Structure 1
Amino acid sequence: MQAEGGLQWTSVSGDLDPVLFPMLWGLIPFGDAVFNHRQVSLLLAELDKLPAACGGDWVGQARKLGQVVEQESHRYLWFVGD
C-alpha cells in the first residue's frame, strides 16, 4: 500500500519542537525516514497535535498507512525524500 500525497516542506515543518514532535522532527526533505510498528503509534499521536499550517492531504494518508502498520509487527511506514 502506498500514498503519493507529498509533503509541502515549509519553514513551519522544519521549526517543529523536537521535544513535542520527535517523530515528525526526524523527517527531512532530502532523506528517507522509516517508522516501525511501535514508532508509528507515537507518530500518529503527533499528527493529532500538528499545527494547521503543517497539515494537508499527507496527514490523512500518513494516518491511514500508519494504522495499517500498527496492525502487525514487521510492517514499516516509509517517508521517501527527494
Structure 2
Amino acid sequence: MQTTVLKEIIAFLFGRKYYANIVGTKGTAEMQLCSFIFLTKEQAAKHRDELMTTLSFRYIETISFRSRKDYSQPKRMASR
C-alpha cells in the first residue's frame, strides 16, 4: 500500500477509510453489519459477489467509514 505525507496527515486527522457490507438474513427483515472490514472498495465488491451465491444472506449495501484504528494489520490472539 503506497502512502504519501498528505495521506498520512489526513489519516491522522480524520482516520483511514474502510468499507463494510450490510447484509440481510433471507426470509426475515433482519439486517446487520457484516463482521468483515475491507481496506478497498474492490475487496468489498468481491465479498458482495460471494454473498450473492449464498442461500442464507442477501446483500443490502456497502458503506464506507473512517477510523483512526489501523485495521490493515491482522489481529493476533493473546496466548495464555
For the aligned pair, the TM-score class normalised by the smaller chain equals: under 0.3
Instruction: Normalising by structure 1, report the TM-score.
Output: 0.27
Instruction: Normalising by structure 2, report the TM-score.
Output: 0.27
Q: Which structure has the highest helix share of the two?
A: 1
Q: Which structure has the highest strand share of the two?
A: 2
Q: Relative contact order, CA 8 A, sep 6+: which one is greater? A: 1
Q: Which structure has the greater CA radius of gyration? A: 2
